[in-house]
Amino acid sequence: MYDVTNELRSVRRTRKTVSVAVWIIAGAAIIFSLMTGAPLVSAHSEWEWTGWLLPVLVDAALVLSLSADAVLSRHGVKGGRWPTWFRWITGLASLFLNVWGSYSVGDWVGVAIHSVAPVILICTSEVAPIYRRKFRDLELTLTEEVTVTVVTQSLTPRTTNADGDSNASTNAGTGNGNGRRSNSRTSTNAEKNKAAIRQAFLNGLTPTQAAEKIGVSRGYVSQRYSEIRAELEKAA
């Protein structure tokens, strides 16, 4: 049986795992690039101690891009053309700093080895926003399903209560069925009110707005809202 609550939790765990993995990849690639690129820059700079500045500049630009994409993706927003160019330019710059030292001496094995980290980082910077947007869309869909399910269940009367009310009404009746008819009308009105409260909650109405629209007390609506929120917290 498909359990939407467990599926939502699984999606959230996976999304967090992907985010952590992205930053692990970025951190490892940055450290590797600093060790590889700094000697190359120092060899072509008047001041050898400045060799680490350019690799840091390039890698900081990639971190900027990853951070911005992480926030935009959470809201389902695409960065557009310029952010894509920015990622590729910084990624290729990192690739150049990593492989040029080996390429200049004809060391093709070194070129291959030192290109692994920047290539993986470039690919990660491209796929991470896609994954994040997909996970966001899926999480929103599942969250809506969980909300509807929890709200419906929290406002569904329990069978034992219904039987108890029915028995009480029967015992209190005069024997001509008036008690049962009265209980039926009360139960019907209660069901209508709960269905209206459910829809009001899903529509984002405040307890005051819902009470005015349904024609019940604000305290009654607030109590039902509190029960719904408590159930949603359990399902989260």
Give pLDDT tens digits for 23-64: 999 899 889 988 888 888 888 887 777 788 888 888 888 888
Same domain, 23 and 132: yes
Number of structural domains found in the chain: 2
How confident is the model at residue 224, as a pLDDT?
78
How confident is the model at residue 173, as a pLDDT?
47
Residue numbers in the chain where pLDDT is lower than 50: 1, 159-175
Q: Which residue among 145, 170, 189 closes a domain?
A: 145
What whole-number distance in Å separates Cα of residue 92 and Cα of residue 71? Answer: 24
Q: Which domain holds residue 51?
A: 4-145
Identity at 70, one-letter amino acid code: A
Same domain, 60 and 133: yes
- Report which DSSP code applies to 158: P
Quick check: 80 and 48 in contact, CB under 8 A?
Answer: no
Unique residue bearing structure tokens 């008690």: 179
Q: Is residue 72 part of a domain?
A: yes
How confident is the model at residue 166, as a pLDDT?
44
Same domain, 39 and 138: yes
Same domain, 118 and 165: no
Q: Which residue among 99, 114, 145 closes a domain?
A: 145
What whole-number distance in Å separates Cα of residue 55 and Cα of residue 85? Answer: 19
Same domain, 163 and 222: yes
The sign of the CA dihedral 218, 224, 229, 230 is: positive
Same domain, 137 and 159: no
Same domain, 120 and 44: yes
- Confidence (pTM): 0.64
Q: Which of 124, 113, 112, 115 is nearest to 96 (CA)?
A: 115
What whole-number distance in Å separates Cα of residue 142 and Cα of residue 7? Answer: 8
What whole-number distance in Å separates Cα of residue 135 and Cα of residue 202? Answer: 22
Same domain, 113 and 136: yes
The sign of the CA dihedral 22, 127, 111, 91 is: negative
Identity at 109, one-letter amino acid code: V
What whole-number distance in Å separates Cα of residue 183 and Cα of residue 167? Answer: 10
Same domain, 18 and 128: yes
Q: Is residue 150 part of a domain?
A: no
In tens, the pLDDT along 67-79 reads 888 888 877 788 7
How confident is the model at residue 1, as a pLDDT?
43
Quick check: 111 and 102 in contact, CB under 8 A?
Answer: yes
Q: How far is CA 89 from the centre of its chain?
A: 29
Same domain, 78 and 181: no
